[in-house]
A and B are shown apart, each in its own frame.
Chain A
Amino acid sequence: MAETPPPPPVRRRTFSATTLPGFAAVAVTVFVALYLPIATLVVFSFNAANSMSDWGGFSLRWYEAAWANRAVQEAAGRSLLIATIASLASTVLATLAALGTTRQGPFRGRMAIWGAINTPLMVPEIVTGVALLILFGTVRAWTGYQGLGYLVLAHTAFCIPFAYLPIRARLERMDRLLELAAADLYASPRRAFLRITLPLLMPGVLAGAMLAFVISLDDVIITEFVKSAGQDTLPTYMLGQFRRTLTPEVNAIATALLGLTLVLLTAFFLITRRRG
């Protein structure tokens, strides 16, 4: 039997309905353009030379300089302190509010509460900044209190919606049958909440707390308007140091802050992905 040679392979261009001309090229360019500036910033923070354009070898001198700088130490401590208190406080408040607005079923004024909680997302920061400058300025004059309380209060307020959204999302997706089962098994409402609802809610609470922490840590504008003299946080310190160009020291601080944000975000993603 004569073997028939296999037919030559037909090169068929597969038609993909989801391909649009040029879209992939633009997308890749966008990703490169998004990361190139950040990468430049990070690379030059390790530059031995006092320059943002000429490479003088690898060195940690700017990190050492920033680390040894008293003002930077204080600003870093203040940033972390405010972010810790504000994220804890806003998460507790947001958890209560989320329980109140999702667990009770619809009631009068629920939309109003929802709107009020989301106000900080809609009002431009500069407007909130000057509003707090006016209000807290008056309170300062009346009470003489100059402490960090004003910053903590302002940060807590604008962190509430960021903590609230993931917690509410988690609550809405939660199976209520488990709570009803607990009630059937004679668990008191308190016990059912502590043993069933709260553990199930925990990933949402953690995600909310982390977002609030990042948001507080990153804030520039509201902090700039609310702070008294000598109450710089890391971002306002960096903005204050900025005089038409960037110093390598500020660059090192920025890179360190970037690293911290990245760690928190990765943790956030691992936590939220596990639930899916």
Chain B
Amino acid sequence: MRRRSRARAGWLLSAPALLVLLVGAVGPLLVVLLYSFLTRGDYGGVRLPFSLEGWFRVFLRRDIFDGTVSLNTDHLSIFWRSIWLSLTTTLVTFVLGLPTAWFIATRPERSRPLWLFLITIPFWTNLLIRTFAILEVIRNEGLINTVLMRLGLISAPIQILFTDWATLIGMTYVYLPFMVLPLYAAIDRFDRRLLEAGYDLYADRWRVLRRVILPLIRPGIVAGCILVFIPALGAYVTPRVLGGGTNMMIGNFIELQFGQGRNWPLGSALAVTLLIAVMGALLLYLRATTPKGGHDG
């Protein structure tokens, strides 16, 4: 009886928030799912009857003359770009983020909050502003090209902007704090005496890193990777501003279907596909961080 009344109080207090989330975040996802199974309207929107055409077009195409079905290589190349750019971003942010997190965690107690604050500011700074900032650095008249040309290392500016490289640099720049913070949290909890134990047992620094540090901070590594990979996979602003019109990622491709493309069922099917991919990554994350039975502690 008491338990039931506790549950009722819990639900009642949470109800207003849940209602707003239902209307403004969770419920609309079901509408997207519904739309992915409808027929494309002539001027955007959808109409009946139900159809699998939207889903069919996610990966396949039908030749307009002879009706043969083949893989849609244009779409596949966009998915491929999204996946490899997100994976590479995750890898690069890890390679740069691990030393940074280590550096912060090994600062003296007094100055550590300051270093942490320095990494948190970009974390909370507007993504669009940070994308604009990196744009100014990599464009043809930007900082990198100007410095390289003044030094005489190159004679003409390197075209970085509006290539996949620009998107990669931009995503690494904007998502790096997402990698550093969970890594820092893991390193901070880690017992430093284990390092000394490792060195006492004649391990060199590389072996200590590989055999002691990395396995022990694994939860932080997994969390950082997921925090970078998921927003990178769904990135929209960074590829739009830095990649230009042609180097689309899946986020831009979805937007295109609701804009000029006027194919809402395809756009909805793509959005559901992206959502499934993200949920899949999260499930992997949960499986990687939940201790297996009997292995706990």
Binding site for B on A (CB under 8 A): 15, 17-28, 30-31, 33-38, 40-41, 44, 52-53, 89-90, 93-94, 96-97, 99-101, 104-105, 107-110, 113, 116-117, 119-120, 122-135, 137, 153-154, 156-158, 160, 164, 214, 217-218, 220-221, 225, 235, 238-239, 242, 244-246, 250-251, 254, 257-258, 261-262, 265, 269, 273
Extra contacts besides A127-B29, A220-B127 (18): CB < 8 Å: A20-B99, A20-B209, A30-B96, A34-B122, A37-B133, A110-B10, A120-B21, A122-B230, A124-B251, A124-B274, A124-B275, A127-B275, A130-B267, A135-B31, A217-B126, A220-B128, A239-B128, A261-B125
Complex contact B195–A40 (CB within 8 A): no
**Which of B7, B21, B28, B113 meets A135, CB within 8 Å?**
B28
Separation of A25 and B196 alpha carbons in the complex (Å): 23
Q: A24 and B278 in contact (CB under 8 A), knowing A38-B130, A130-B254, A135-B28?
A: no
**Which applies to chain A's interface (DSSP): helix, strand, loop or mixed?**
helix
Separation of A116 and B23 alpha carbons in the complex (Å): 12
Complex contact A124–B278 (CB within 8 A): yes
List residues of chain B with CB within 8 A of the CB of A93: 16-17, 20
Residue B53, interface by CB 8 Å: no
Separation of A100 and B6 alpha carbons in the complex (Å): 9
- Binding stretch for chain A, among B67-75, B101-109, B215-223, B288-296: B101-109
**Which of A21, A100, A123, A261 meets B13, CB within 8 Å?**
A100
Minimum Cβ distance to chain B for residue A272 (Å): 11
Residue B146, interface by CB 8 Å: yes
List residues of chain B with CB within 8 A of the CB of A37: 130, 133-134, 136-137, 143, 173
Complex contact B99–A126 (CB within 8 A): no
Complex contact A41–B136 (CB within 8 A): yes
List residues of chain B with CB within 8 A of the CB of A244: 244
Complex contact A125–B234 (CB within 8 A): yes
Separation of A245 and B26 alpha carbons in the complex (Å): 36
Residue B52, interface by CB 8 Å: no
Separation of A21 and B206 alpha carbons in the complex (Å): 9
Minimum Cβ distance to chain A for residue B95 (Å): 8
Complex contact B130–A126 (CB within 8 A): no
Complex contact A23–B25 (CB within 8 A): no
List residues of chain A with CB within 8 A of the CB of B130: 37-38
Most buried by B among A113, A119, A130, A257: A130
List residues of chain B with CB within 8 A of the CB of A22: 99
Complex contact A251–B132 (CB within 8 A): yes
Closest chain A residue to B16 by CB distance?
A93
Complex contact A100–B14 (CB within 8 A): yes
26 contacts between A and B (CB under 8 A): A18-B102, A20-B99, A27-B103, A37-B136, A38-B125, A38-B129, A100-B10, A100-B14, A117-B14, A120-B21, A123-B275, A124-B230, A126-B236, A130-B258, A130-B271, A134-B264, A158-B24, A158-B25, A217-B126, A218-B128, A220-B126, A225-B258, A239-B128, A239-B237, A261-B125, A269-B120
Complex contact A18–B106 (CB within 8 A): yes
Complex contact B142–A53 (CB within 8 A): yes
Separation of A38 and B231 alpha carbons in the complex (Å): 21
Complex contact B21–A109 (CB within 8 A): no
Q: A157 and B254 in contact (CB under 8 A), knowing A20-B209, A127-B29?
A: no
List residues of chain B with CB within 8 A of the CB of A130: 32, 254-255, 258, 267-268, 271
Complex contact A235–B128 (CB within 8 A): yes
List residues of chain A with CB within 8 A of the CB of B160: none
Q: A40 and B143 in contact (CB under 8 A), knowing A30-B99, A100-B14?
A: yes
